[in-house]
Amino acid sequence: MSELVPGGNTPLPSGTLTLRVPGPFDVSALITDDSGEVRGDGDFVFYNQPTAPGARLQGEQLTIDPPRLRPGASRVTVVISPADAGTPLGRLPAPTLYVCGPDGRALTRFTPPRPQRETVLLLAELYRRGTGWKLRALGQGYADGLAGIARDFGVDVAEGHATSDAAPVSDTDGFLGLVNTARARAGSPPVRLDARLADAARAHAVGMAARGLLSSESSDGVSVHQRVTSAGYAYLTAGEHLVSGPRTPAEFVEYCLSAEQSRRTLCDPAFSQAAVAYVPDPRTGDLYWTALWARPFSPAGLERTAGEVIALTNAERTRAGLPPLSTDTLLTTAAQAHSADMVARAFYSHTSPEGSQPWDRAAAVGCARRTIGENIACGQRSAAEVVRGWMDSPGHRANILKPGFTHIGVGLAGGGKAGMYWTQLFGG
């Protein structure tokens, strides 16, 4: 039986698979296509709806028969939450996922890093690759319960039942209409309001108003990006506007559209959800604004963004007359684990807190390539932005264009002090 680490994957045999998470947990599953969203209520398998085509939940055990999933299904995301609703996972034993094949033989297991305040964990996903299926270890936590997970996958959970229409956040001041009008003019899709982003925006605006200071960090050192994840919102990309002075939402939106960089954020087609809060300075009455823009995390989005980084990297190599790099699953596993580790343990370095280096991390997941190189970055919001930044840095550029490298793995994770944390791991 193999042991997976975050980001690691393993091929699965054909036939019915059994997944089990023993302990005081509820197991759920979300069945999606490559878009990362469900088609409707029937794609959410949980304690009140334990069956779907190709999937059945019985207590701590989930059985999946991939060929019998509904047409178009290409992913099954396995979710756990405390059986005692509201209990943080950090107060419970560390969960372990056990996967068995059709013959009952144990195939693999995965124990994620111990959760803390999270109340829900995206534990793993089964996904189609060609004609077969694979399992990827995730370990991505949420602090907003099953309702938050369901919203981000396209459903909602209310009073124990699944429904495809999430209760909307009220747009009492017209902000959303102003924003979506501007986005439509730029050719970008509309965004919708999200209550978790609204909570994070208000908390940050309150802190700025109390100090009379525009800042991406509060007085206790918590960044606006960390506030987003603390509100229970796991994101794939996020942006913000921190502004003082405008007196109305219309003035605020006009201000954001007045400069190229802030206009690009407001109209970024990558964002699908938003929120705004404005709070007066108790001394001067000036309004302090925080607007947040984000796209929620999904396994499909993670894979898609990593693929964009690789494609852009290979485009740079092609322009330099070099052969493209091939994706390596072991390098991908190590890269994803390092990005997640930098977020979880609040550091930014090629050297981990216990002293491990890129080649140590590659060897730890079984990679035997003779030469290893690593690029890391933080704060960039997109694949294009991070690759452009690396190419503008001589040392990072040298890794991307090194002739001796033949393979690559990419990892990314959001929620740290600087936002997104990116890792490229090269091998040759």
Residue-wise pLDDT tens digits, 386-400: 999 999 999 999 999
CB 99 within 8 Å of CB 107: yes
Q: Which residue in 226, 221, 380 sits closest to 292, CA to CA?
A: 226
The string of DSSP codes covering 36-83 is S--SSGGGEEBTTB-EETTEEEETTEEEE-GGGSPTT--EEEEEEEES
CB contact at 8 A, 273 and 294: yes
The stretch 71-83 carries a mean pLDDT of: 92
H-run or E-run covering 314: helix 299-319
Residue 12: CB atoms within 10 Å: 20
What are the structure tokens assigned to 277, written together?
């809060």
Cβ contacts of residue 71 below 8 Å, gap of 6+? none
Name the band, by pLDDT with cuts 50, 70 and 90, for residue 19: very high
Q: What is the pLDDT of residues 218-254, one digit of tens each?
A: 888 899 999 998 888 889 999 999 999 999 999 999 9
Distances (CA, A) of 26 to 60, 100, 291, 335: 7, 19, 35, 30
Give dist(CA 296, CA 121) in Å, integer: 14
pLDDT tens-digit readout, 276-300: 999 999 999 999 999 999 999 888 8
Distance set, CA 354 to CA 125, 224, 333, 338, 411 (Å): 29, 28, 19, 13, 20
Give residue for tokens 């999946």. 64
12, β-bridge pairs = 133
User: Per-residue pLDDT tens for 210-228?
Assistant: 999 999 998 888 999 999 9
Which carries the bigger pLDDT value, residue 59 or residue 53?
53
Phi, psi of 307 (to 5 degrees): -65, -35
Please report where in the chains the tokens 């602090």 appear, as a residue.
Answer: 143
What φ, ψ does residue 127 adopt, rounded to 5°? Answer: -145, 145
* pLDDT score for 170: 57
pLDDT score for 157? 46
Maximum distance among all alpha carbons in the chain?
A: 71
Bridge partners of residue 99, in order along the sequence? 19, 108
Q: Please give the C-alpha separations between residue 375 and each of 234, 323, 326, in angstroms, as whole numbers.
A: 24, 19, 16
Please state the rounded mean pLDDT for residues 348-364. Answer: 95
Q: What is the pLDDT of residue 163?
A: 35
Of the candidates 142, 252, 145, 151, the one whose C-alpha atom is nearest the C-alpha of residue 192 is 151
Identify the residue with better confidence: 86 or 374. 374
Percentage of the chain with pLDDT > 70?
96
pLDDT at 277: 94
Average pLDDT score, the chain: 90
SS3 164: coil
Report the run of H or E that residue 236 belongs to, with start and end: strand 235-244
Question: Could you report the per-residue pLDDT of 110-161, keeping only the tens digit for each?
Answer: 998 877 777 889 999 999 998 899 999 998 887 767 777 777 787 754 433 3
At residue 156, the pLDDT reads: 53
Q: How far apart are CA 331 and CA 134, in angstroms?
A: 17
- Return the H-helix or E-strand segment holding 197: helix 195-211
Question: How many whole angstroms separate alpha carbon 2 and alpha carbon 45?
Answer: 27
Mean pLDDT score, 7-13: 91
Closest CA to 149 of 60, 17, 248, 37: 37
Q: Beta partners for 278?
A: 289
- Whether 86 shows a pLDDT value over 80: the answer reads no
Burial of 160: CB neighbours in 10 Å, binned 0-12, 13-18, 19+ = exposed
Look at residue 84 in the predicted model and tell me its pLDDT.
Answer: 80
Locate 111 and state its tokens. 């124990």
pLDDT of residue 161: 37
37-41, 167-171, 187-191, 306-310, range with the lowest pLDDT: 167-171
Residue 74 CA to its chain's centroid (Å): 19
What does the pLDDT read at residue 83? 85
- pLDDT range class, residue 171, cuts 50, 70, 90: low
Question: pLDDT band for position 166 (50/70/90)?
Answer: very low
- Name the residue with tokens 């981000």: 152
**Per-residue CA distances from 297 to 78, 104, 113, 220, 360 (Å):** 14, 33, 18, 26, 28
Tell which wins on pLDDT, 96 or 150.
Answer: 96
225 contacts 415 by C-beta, under 8 angstroms: yes
Alpha-carbon radius of gyration of the chain: 22
